[in-house]
Amino acid sequence: MPKTSYCVVLFYSTSEALRVEKLCKERDLRVKLIPVPRQLSSDCGICLRFEHDRESEVREILDERKIEIQGVYRV
């Protein structure tokens, strides 16, 4: 059985991650803050997890608010 893939957004600060989580939830997007996967970064920190089919909606929020990110990755 294949693993379910998902996407994560890596931020430059925890406060930005918290801000985007709130904005996504206001639009009823299912998101969750999780530790950054080790394969993406050895730094401690949190990232925003969401289903890959919601990527365009999450990117729209990031663009609207001009939030700088480290990247969006499929895990």
- Which pair of structure tokens corresponds to residue 25? 């939830």
> Which residue reads 């299912």 in tokens?
30
Looking up tokens 């401690």 gives 44
Residue spans of the domains in the chain: they are 6-74
pLDDT (0 to 100) of residue 54: 96
pTM metric for this prediction: 0.87
Rounded to an integer, the average pLDDT of 47-51 is 97
Q: What is the mean pLDDT of residues 40-54?
A: 87
Query: Locate tokens 């801000």: which residue?
Result: 19
pLDDT at residue number 1: 43
First to last CA, the chain: 16
Residues 32-60, mean pLDDT to the nearest whole number: 91
Per residue in 4-43, pLDDT (tens digit) is 689 999 999 999 999 999 999 999 999 999 999 888 875 7
Match domain 6-74 to its CATH number in 1.20.1070, 3.30.70, 3.30.420, 3.40.50: 3.30.70
Which of the pair, 2 or 29, is modelled with greater confidence? 29
